[in-house]
Homo-oligomer: A and B are copies of this chain.
Amino acid sequence: MKQISSRFSIAVHILSLIAISSKDCTGDFIADSVNTNPVIIRRIIGMLKKAGLVEVRSGVGGASLLKDPDQISLLDVYRAVEVIEDGKLFNFHDEPNPACPVGRNIEAALRSEMMEAQSAMEQRLSQVTLDQLTVQFQ
């Protein structure tokens, strides 16, 4: 990968805006704050809906949170926007040669370390909630 998709940062932006804003959060209003196309916003809100984080008033429009901001962690958002394939941050090359001692054993050993590293990151994300961010937006 190059980088983890900006879907994640946009999703956090969207949720922060909904949490803070008193006015109706329509796709166009959010798109103006994020500075992107409204369709991008709708797509990401669709993912947040699927994850049970927000709801959208159909017809009239406007999104609202389904959880308190102190009950939404950055990990929840990260997982909602499906930023990585199959839940695995690290890719592993296909089918090393089983006839070689390294080829035969490296996958188990390295995958285990990859999971530890990934967990360390996700655990850190899980410790930060939306309200811990929004208090900084005076």
> Which chain A residues have a beta carbon within 8 Å of chain B's beta carbons?
1-6, 8-10, 12-13, 16-17, 20-21, 32-36, 74, 83-85, 88-97, 100-106, 108-110, 113-114, 116-118, 120-125, 128, 133-134, 136-138
- Cβ contact of A84, chosen from B3, B36, B96, B106, cutoff 8 A: B3
Query: In the complex, are the beta carbons of A12 and B138 less than 8 A apart?
Result: no
How far is A83 from B2 in the complex, measured between Cα atoms in Å? 7
A136 to B108, CA, bound (A): 10
The smallest beta-carbon distance between A24 and chain B, in angstroms, is 15
B34 x A103 contact (CB < 8 A)? yes
- Of residues A20, A36, A100, A116, which shows the largest number of chain B Cβ atoms within 10 Å of its Cβ? A100
Cβ of A93 to closest chain B Cβ, rounded Å: 4
Residue of B nearest to A126 (CB): B117
A137 near B35: Cβ-Cβ < 8 Å? no
A117 to chain B, nearest CB (A): 4
Evaluate whether A90 and B120 lie within 8 angstroms (CB atoms) in the complex, with A33-B103, A95-B35, A136-B109 already known.
no
Q: Do A10 and B93 form a contact, CB below 8 Å, given A106-B137, A133-B106, A137-B101?
A: yes
